[in-house]
């Protein structure tokens, strides 16, 4: 089953809609320059509310960019997060520090670079509930939200060997094509289901998840 991660959540209402729609993972961005940044205090309240309202909850993921690892660990513990997404220039050692509960976002420019990065960042066994890596669109200065699709051919080559999360301007209208082209372990969406930066369009969130489920059921 293709996993779905709804990322860039900033409030309880949007998070609850994502969970009720069937998201497998939900992500909170702790990178302050991002328009989708959310404070740890808010995330802790969201996690507590969602955990109390259901016996089964999605994987709660914290997204960090070039943050001190000690602070990452503090936020993970404080917010009761399940996993860490390292979205900056972190090292393989930084990923390994979390003992299978972290994965790295890669933005390779070529297949050769992609192969090298994947080999470096997949040395430690990951949890079965997480991807080995995330493949995102390359941009020389931005760490995400580029408005560009990832290289699906490159991603497909990696996906044949490793469970990858595919990101990069996915939407309810192109996610079918992406899944068919790449066959990823999971798909990640943020801006593609927004009403505005930092606020989700609930209809788009539901449509995105429903579309992925229909692909799996052979209904499209």
Tens digits of per-residue pLDDT, 68-106?
Answer: 999 999 999 999 999 999 999 999 999 999 999 999 999
How long a stretch of residues is the chain?
A: 220
pLDDT digit string, tens, across residues 107-162: 999 999 999 999 999 977 777 899 999 999 876 555 555 567 999 999 999 999 99
pLDDT digit string, tens, across residues 187-206: 999 999 999 999 999 999 99
**Domain ranges across the chain:** 3-216
Least Cα distance to 42 among 57, 61, 28 occurs for 28
3-216 fold: TIM Barrel (3.20.20)
Distance between CA atoms of 24 and 29, rounded to whole angstroms?
17
pTM over cut 0.75: yes
**Of residues 208 and 53, which shows the higher confidence score?**
208
Q: Is 220 a residue whose pLDDT tops 60?
A: no
């Amino acid at each position: 089953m293709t996993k779905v991660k709804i990322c860039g959540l900033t409030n309880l209402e949007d998070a609850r809609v994502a969970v009720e729609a069937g998201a497998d993972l939900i992500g909170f961005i702790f990178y302050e320059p991002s328009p989708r940044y959310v404070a740890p205090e808010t995330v802790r309240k969201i996690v507590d509310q969602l955990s109390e309202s259901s016996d089964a909850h999605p994987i709660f993921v914290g997204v960090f960019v070039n943050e001190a690892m000690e602070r990452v660990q503090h936020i993970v513990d404080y917010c009761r997060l399940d996993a860490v997404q390292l979205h900056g220039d972190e090292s393989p050692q930084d990923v390994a520090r979390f003992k299978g509960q972290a994965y790295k976002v890669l933005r390779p420019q070529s297949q050769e670079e992609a192969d090298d990065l994947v080999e470096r960042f997949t040395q430690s066994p990951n949890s079965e509930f997480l991807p080995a890596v995330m493949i995102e669109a390359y941009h020389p200065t931005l760490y995400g939200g580029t408005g560009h699709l990832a290289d699906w051919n490159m991603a497909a080559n990696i996906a044949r060997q490793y469970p990858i999360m595919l990101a990069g301007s996915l939407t309810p209208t192109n996610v079918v094509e992406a899944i068919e082209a790449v066959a990823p372990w999971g798909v990640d969406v943020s801006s593609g289901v927004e009403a505005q930066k930092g606020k989700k369009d609930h209809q788009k969130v539901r449509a995105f998840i429903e579309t992925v489920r229909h692909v799996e059921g052979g209904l499209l």
